[in-house]
């Protein structure tokens, strides 16, 4: 099996594997809204998705973690059994919630204490592989930063979110150009072409926005499709939060500010997109409320949108495969056997 503990600090795994972290609303979950079962389920998925064998058993995982000294059971072994039951419950929940049909479906089947890969190799599902690795990188930043940068990861994630929004809202979704060239330093130079498909205008105040604002918290613009471009349409202002500090972005983009920057001629709403899965419905609700009732798009909803989007092109598929291949080369540096 893939040696999970070699790709992430042992102390972090031990943190996840505390029995209290797996109880409802446990202390770990308060620090990480994904929850300990969710984080550990991600690592089981990574193991199964990228290893050569198509199956991964819970017994095998527990034996490995005990041998590595990461999991210390009581004499009866009940701690390990409780943890694995919780993780497989989370995996079963995911199986029910993801869309059907490759390449955007949940690429595993669940059997008693066995996780089975249902695709021949990981690059048959590059979008799922990308989101899974970016989510894991929130807890092990080396997965994202070595031989790459957060800027590259963030840009790719924005492209994925843009394509997903196209499918979710059945309408145009535009990703703002990144900064880089001198002409793109000014926010209005990037916003003006982005709102042209929506037939909206920038306000004079946008030209006065200081360069330090960068993107002003706005990564993707989408709208709810109702068949025309008349006033009163709902426009969606999307913040893409792929990194470890995504909770600091819950107030972005500031809607009052963007009302001053663009003549939307109707309502606007904040959307937050993350590569993770929330631990339960309550944590998702709390996150939405903490962002002033923003719409949250997590991994499940991203895959649903992608499965219905005609905006997913081969070029983006290829970029994601190349990025994931680079990440897998890093995992091989840890001595982990990866399927070719």
Segment 196-251, tens digit of pLDDT: 999 999 999 998 887 766 778 899 999 988 888 889 989 999 999 987 777 778 88
Nearest to 2 by CA among 150, 148, 136: 136
Query: Domain residue spans in the chain?
Result: 4-132+321-333, 150-318
338: phi then psi, degrees, rounded to nearest 5? -115, 140
pLDDT, residue 1, reads 43
Instruction: Classify residue 318 as exposed, middle or buried by CB count within 10 Å of its CB (0-12, 13-18, 19+).
Output: exposed
Using pLDDT thresholds of 50, 70 and 90, give the confidence band for residue 16: low
| CB proximity list for 315: less than 8 A, separation 6 or greater | none
**Residue 228, pLDDT score:** 83
Does residue 65 contact residue 5 with C-beta atoms inside 8 Å?
A: yes
234 DSSP assignment = P
Residue with more model confidence, 296 or 332: 296
* One-letter-per-residue 3-state SS of 48-112: HHHCCCCEEEHHHHHHHHHHCCCCCCCCCCHHHHHHHHHHHHHHHHHHHHCCCCCCCCCCEEEEC
Quote the CA–CA distance of 321 and 257 in Å, as a whole number.
37
Q: What is the per-residue pLDDT for 147?
A: 59
pLDDT in tens, 249-290: 888 899 999 999 999 999 999 999 999 988 788 888 888 988
């Amino acid at each position: 099996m893939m040696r999970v503990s070699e790709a992430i600090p042992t102390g972090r795994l031990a943190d996840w594997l505390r029995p209290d972290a797996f109880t409802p609303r446990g202390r770990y979950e308060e620090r990480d809204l994904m929850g300990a079962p969710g984080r550990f389920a991600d690592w089981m998925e990574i193991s199964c998705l990228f290893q050569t064998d198509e199956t991964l058993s819970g017994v095998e995982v527990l034996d490995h973690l005990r041998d590595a000294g990461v999991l210390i059971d009581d004499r009866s072994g009940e701690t390990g059994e409780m943890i694995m039951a919780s993780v497989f419950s989370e995996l079963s929940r995911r199986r029910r919630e993801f869309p059907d049909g490759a390449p955007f479906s949940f690429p595993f089947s669940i059997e008693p204490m066995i996780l089975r890969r249902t695709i021949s190799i990981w690059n048959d599902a590059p979008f799922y592989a990308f989101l899974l690795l970016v989510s894991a990188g929130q807890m092990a930043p080396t997965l994202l930063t070595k031989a790459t940068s957060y800027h590259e990861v963030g840009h790719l994630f924005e492209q994925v979110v843009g394509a997903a929004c196209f499918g979710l809202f059945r309408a145009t979704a535009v990703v703002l150009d990144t900064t880089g060239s001198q002409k793109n330093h000014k926010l209005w130079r990037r916003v003006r072409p982005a709102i042209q498909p929506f037939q909206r205008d920038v306000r004079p105040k946008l030209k006065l926005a200081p360069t330090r604002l960068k993107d002003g918290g706005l990564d993707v613009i989408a709208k709810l499709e109702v068949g025309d471009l008349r006033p009163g349409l709902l426009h969606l202002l999307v913040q893409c939060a792929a990194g470890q500090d995504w909770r600091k972005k819950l107030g972005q983009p500031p809607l009052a500010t963007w009302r001053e920057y663009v003549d939307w001629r109707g309502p606007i709403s904040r959307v937050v997109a993350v590569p993770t899965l929330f631990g339960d419905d309550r944590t998702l609700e709390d996150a939405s409320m903490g962002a002033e009732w923003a719409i949250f798009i997590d991994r499940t909803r991203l895959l649903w949108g992608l499965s219905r989007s005609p905006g997913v092109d081969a070029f983006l598929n290829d970029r994601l495969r190349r990025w994931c291949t680079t990440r897998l080369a890093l995992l091989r540096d840890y001595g982990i056997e990866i399927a070719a």
